[in-house]
Structure 1
Amino acid sequence: MPEQPQPAETPARQNVTFPSAGATAHGYLALPPSGQGPGVLVIQEWWGLTDHIADVADRLAAEGFVALAPDLYGGSVAHDGDEALRMMKALPVSRGVELLSGAVGHLLSLPEVTSDTVGAVGFCMGGGFVLYLAAVEPRVSAAVPFYGVVQGALPDFSGLRAQILGHYGERDRSIPPKRVDELSATIRRQSGITPDFRLHPAGHAFFNDRRPSHDPDSAADAWQSTVAFLRRQLG
């Protein structure tokens, strides 16, 4: 994962609270112009619930989805790679999945959400959490990891119900194409579902337009296919 500093963003972008994992969670909720639509979770990078993640939620809302970005760090935002790494390691995967499952339940409880299941889109650390969540959460029917970093052991995908569209960079040194192929084979073998993993001519974090690694062409292509995928899966 990249180590370049992230511009200072304080505090995290929050505009909603909801019950999750036995506590009060926070997040950023964006509604479509129509006021209702299918539900989609947006899962943060290792930096936290930044302006970039809130912007992704806003973009999904503009496409007709009800988008919720849960704050997995409880209001903290990292400002450099060392801090982001510490914060990511301080969040156990099991706890993150528990918080995200609560966010799924909250999203489906909203009167504005028209779908019976939700989609999940995540980036870097959040892309890994998309896979962990989809492996155990049957209410997730569409999973979209962007250069998802899996921390530690892979989840057991035998209970996977979601279709998967994944975006990775050909020049991503943290997730080389060989690892993407191995992940695809594991998911297919354990679940019977063949993920649609796409390699883009870019490096890590190519979708983040606030970072030097941003690749506009790859980002635009990944976004277009993601929106179409979510519409197909969620209605």
Structure 2
Amino acid sequence: MPGRMVEFPANGGTASGYLSTPAAGRGPGVLVIQEWWGLVRQIKSVCDRFAGEGFTALAPDMYHGKSADEPDAAGKLFMALNIAQAEKDLRGAAKALAGHSSTATLGAVGFCMGGQLALFAATLNPSIGATVNFYGIHPNVKPDYGKLAGPVLGLYAEKDSFVTPQVAREVDKAIKGAGKPSAIHIYPGVDHAFFNEERPDVYNRAAADDAWRRTLTFFRQHLK
């Protein structure tokens, strides 16, 4: 069932997002956090895929109505992200999602910029008990891993020049160093954004399908 745009309170203001619910009406709640392009069709489709698997998925609009379809414009939106506002939006989104979730524990998953924001969201909201980070990066977002309430699964690409395998291992080490469970998988021979089926230059079906299976298994294990 296709989702819909919704509004929710965000620390005195209002934010919006795309909410997709399963046929049963409610499922384990998952925050889905956008790439640097914005809240675009592909991210909405990820929410719908989660709903098809029995989850309730909410993708907050981190750019508040703006989006980009070419890298220069996306890069400008990415660097202009207001971290204080992002914190408010992520707190509000988690609270809104909790009202639609069948489980007390929520999940967070994000891609590129959203991967880093998913980690950030999990450090802000104790209700988020499982996080999947797809090749997350943002230079201004610095999560305090000691505040994570649950495990992290990191999914990375061997050929990624933005988030190299070395960076992936460093993130994994830092999370474990904070005393939190972390596991990573680095997909050989694929590039940054391999999960995005609307980017044929980097999309890799085999890696994307495997990453999707791992993500579903991880959330089904931890969202109770």
TM-score, normalised on structure 2? 0.94
Alignment of 1:129 with 2:105, yes or no, is no
* Aligned position for 2:191: 203
Say whether the 8 Å CA contact 1:14–1:26 is kept in structure 2: no
- Cα deviation 1:186-209 (Å, max 9, x = unaligned): 11112x123111101211000000
Say whether the 8 Å CA contact 1:61–1:67 is kept in structure 2: yes
Q: What one-letter code is carried by the residue in structure 2 that aligns with 1:32?
A: P
Displacement of 1:14 in angstroms is: 5.9
Alpha-carbon RMSD: 1.4
Say whether the 8 Å CA contact 2:83–2:140 is kept in structure 1: no
Q: How many residues align?
A: 220
State how 1:120-199 maps to structure 2 within 5 Å. 120-152=108-140, 154-190=142-178, 192-199=179-186
Q: What one-letter code is carried by the residue in structure 2 that aligns with 1:78?
A: A
* Partner Cα separation in structure 2 for residue 137 and residue 127 of structure 1: 15
* Aligned position for 2:23: 33
- The alignment partner of 2:210 has SS state of helix
Provide the identity percentage. 42
* Partner Cα separation in structure 2 for residue 94 and residue 169 of structure 1: 30
Displacement of 1:66 in angstroms is: 0.5
> What are structure 2's unaligned runs of at least 5 residues?
none
- The alignment partner of 2:104 has SS state of strand
* Partner Cα separation in structure 2 for residue 219 and residue 24 of structure 1: 34
Displacement of 1:115 in angstroms is: 0.8
Q: What one-letter code is carried by the residue in structure 2 that aligns with 1:227?
A: L
- The alignment partner of 2:81 has SS state of coil
* Partner Cα separation in structure 2 for residue 186 and residue 122 of structure 1: 19
Alignment of 1:45 with 2:35, yes or no, is yes
Displacement of 1:116 in angstroms is: 0.6
Alignment of 1:20 with 2:10, yes or no, is yes
* Partner Cα separation in structure 1 for residue 43 and residue 184 of structure 2: 22
User: Would you identify which runs of 4 or more consecutive aligned residues in structure 1 move more than 3 Å?
Assistant: none
Displacement of 1:161 in angstroms is: 1.1
Alignment of 1:61 with 2:51, yes or no, is yes
